[in-house]
Amino acid sequence: MDYPTAQSSASQRAWGLARWQYGAIGNAQLLALGFERQAIKHRLARGRLHRTRWRGVYAVGRPELDRLGLWMGALIAAGDGAGISHSSAVALWEMGSPAEAVIEVSVPHPRSPRLPDIRAHRRNALSPGGLTVCKHIPVTTPIQTIIDIAPSSTPAALERAINEADKRDLVDPETLRAALTEHAGEPGVAVVRDLLDRRTFTLTDSELERRFLPLAREAGLPPPRTQARVNGFRVDFLWPDLGLVVETDGLRYHRTPAQQAADRRRDQAHAAAGLTPLRFTRAQVALEPAHVVATLRRVARRLGASR
């Protein structure tokens, strides 16, 4: 889309602006572009402008606005400084399920607009970098959006949003965790921190061994070699008699493409040498021990039978 230039006629600028805003335009915008009130009424009567659910916001050319047009129309109605936020921002960033019928926006304090089908959240100020644009629609950043939805989200829904943000390269869990300090005092910060600290669980090598070795014993495995070098790589746990290598990853979430490629090379080198590589996250070792034990037991039985 080409944003209208100052050299265009008033009509060209208006229709260009409407295209930029997904078919929505405001009465104040038309007046600022040089339209007389009578000219606006004339275009309403001729069907070139159509009233929307919000006073002073029009749809250009056709009566209905699509979802992007409705989001833009809601921001026009909410006034300067407004941004799509909360569940609507989740939908705009494609981090979760479609937004509710009510459009959620954040507006600067002390404004508190009461508008049909709009839920306005007053805020004194967004944290640094809290507002950006997506598809040239003002919206809270992925970090701010995740913090905003945290108090009202189920753990599963919040985790899904974080995973989607990571998968879409919007923000990774480590960056999100580090950014929480800048948002101190916001209601969702503690919820996000608790979830991240649980799911990005890290253990030192010694602590990992202390927690993992009893699980291996429970699964019926003999003591492994730890921190051994195998096929040019240091591995966490090795059972040479079974040909089993167990590696642990620090994060539950998606690792970077470079990390994933390195993991695959390690696993492929072990498989090419006739070993069976097996991976657990450190969060699983700490928080899902029954799953770890059951998996180790099944793999050990299979390997023992084959040897």
Q: What is the pLDDT of residue 227?
A: 86
Indicate if 167 and 152 belong to the same structural domain.
yes
Percent helix, strand and coil across the chain, each rounded to 5?
50, 20, 35
How does pLDDT run across 250-261, given as a tens digit for each residue?
A: 654 445 677 778
Q: How far is CA 276 from CA 133, 167, 216, 284, 302, in A?
A: 47, 28, 16, 19, 11
**Residue where a domain terminates, one of 137, 172, 198:** 198
**Residue where a domain terminates, one of 17, 36, 65:** 65
Indicate if 72 and 179 belong to the same structural domain.
yes
CATH number for 300: 3.40.960.10
**Residue where a domain terminates, one of 23, 43, 65:** 65
Nearest to 196 by CA among 291, 255, 283, 126: 283
- Residue 90 near residue 99 (C-beta atoms within 8 A): yes
Q: How far is CA 78 from CA 100, 107, 111, 221, 283, in A?
A: 18, 7, 9, 64, 43
How does pLDDT run across 93-122, given as a tens digit for each residue?
A: 999 877 778 999 999 988 888 999 999 999
Indicate if 258 and 285 belong to the same structural domain.
yes
**Percent of all residues in the chain with a pLDDT value above 90, rounded to a whole number:** 65
Nearest to 14 by CA among 4, 28, 2, 1: 4
Name the strand (E) or helix (H) holding 62: none
CATH number for 6: 1.10.10
Q: Domain range holding 55?
A: 1-65
Task: Look at 144-148, 188-192, 251-255, 302-306 and tell me which has the smallest mean pLDDT.
Answer: 251-255
Indicate if 231 and 301 belong to the same structural domain.
yes
pLDDT at 23 over 60: yes
Indicate if 136 and 84 belong to the same structural domain.
yes
* 59 Cβ contact partners less than 8 Å away, ≥ 6 residues apart: 23, 24, 49, 50, 51, 52, 65, 69, 73
Indicate if 191 and 217 belong to the same structural domain.
no
Under the banding of pLDDT at 50, 70 and 90, the label for residue 5 is low
Strand partners, 226: 237
Indicate if 100 and 188 belong to the same structural domain.
yes
How does pLDDT run across 246-298, given as a tens digit for each residue?
A: 988 765 444 567 777 888 899 999 999 999 999 998 778 888 899 999 999 99
pLDDT at 128 over 60: no
pLDDT at 70 over 70: yes
Indicate if 85 and 193 belong to the same structural domain.
yes
How many distinct structural domains can be found in the chain?
3
Indicate if 75 and 182 belong to the same structural domain.
yes
Indicate if 10 and 109 belong to the same structural domain.
no
Indicate if 184 and 275 belong to the same structural domain.
no
- Residue 73 near residue 18 (C-beta atoms within 8 A): no
Global pTM?
A: 0.69
Q: What is the pLDDT of residue 2?
A: 45
Indicate if 58 and 101 belong to the same structural domain.
no
Peptide bond into 110 cis (omega under 30): yes
